[in-house]
Amino acid sequence: MPQQVKLFAGNASHELGEKIAAAYGTQLGDLSLQRFADTELGPSFNESVRGCAVFLIQSTFPPAENLMELMLMVDAAKRASAASVTIVMPYYGYARQDRKDKPRVSIGAKVVADFIQSVGTDRLMTCDLHAGQIQGFFDIPVDHLDGSAMFVPYIKSLNLGNLIFASPDVGGVVRTRAFAKRFGAEIVVCDKTRLRANEIASMQVIGDVTNQDVVLVDDIVDTAGTICKAAELLLERGARSVRAVITHPVLSGPAHDRIRNSVLEELVVSDTIPLRQENPKIRVISLADLFAHAIRNVVTHESISSLFT
């Protein structure tokens, strides 16, 4: 008898969880979240998970209680005798803290990895990590999905004549080159220096974008300062149009206003993080099908890489 598969979603990703479950051909399981007077969290499963392959869907964007809620969900499932527990974390929070870039700082991505493993998680599924090397923080299997698999068809549908891709910083060159390779296109780089986090000191373009339709590629858009400044600079350097494709729409602080007032044709994002407000310049492409296929391939012991190669 095949093992029963059950999908549950935390509060932060309930809408995406419903889409993933529908794409998988099922419904989300029944999960309750008790909140005490002091805001302490207490999740509980309202149906049996004994002997089941359990998939828990939750992105860990701020506030940090989304991460805590997820960890309690894992613990509850393990204590209820689930056969296996896989975390489906579309957006891996704290991923930008992946190394010591100055003295006496934490490596937040490693702390989160240790937290995930300490509660007994059997497997992690995530998408477009800020640094792929974060997988090395884990001693459990990590399925690192490539969000571009869902973005590529949309970019192709635009039929842009002189397509070129741009990385908004040197650190994103590998990601941008992989994206451009799907189109046989060239890339340019926007080299930036920072005064401090979320504040750019200067930026310059490495490469020629004259009369080109530029697509900026990145994993995270936070305050949108970098992406909007890069778009302005690319137009100044002769680009015909500029749009951006970014997986995780953190969009904090002045981000929405900056995007509305920017020279960007559009900002294409996924639904790993739900938008907090409407924005006419933002187009959302769902990754539900990608995650549903990945979950199915895990259950049937098939290849994950086949989904995006």
C-alpha 87/C-alpha 303 separation (Å) is: 18
Q: Give every CB contact of residue 131 below 8 A, 6+ residues apart in sequence.
A: 95, 98, 99, 109
Q: Give every CB contact of residue 158 below 8 A, 6+ residues apart in sequence.
A: none
Active site residue 281: no
SS3 280: coil
Give the strands of the sheet with 267-270, arranged side by side. Answer: 199-206, 187-196, 163-167, 213-221, 241-249, 267-270, 282-285
Which of 102, 192, 229, 281 is labelled catalytic? Answer: 192
Upstream peptide bond of 63 is cis (omega within 30 degrees of 0): yes
Q: Give every CB contact of residue 71 below 8 A, 6+ residues apart in sequence.
A: 115, 116, 119
Q: What are phi and psi of 161, to 5 degrees?
A: -70, -55
Q: What are phi and psi of 42, to 5 degrees?
A: -150, 85
Active site residues: 192
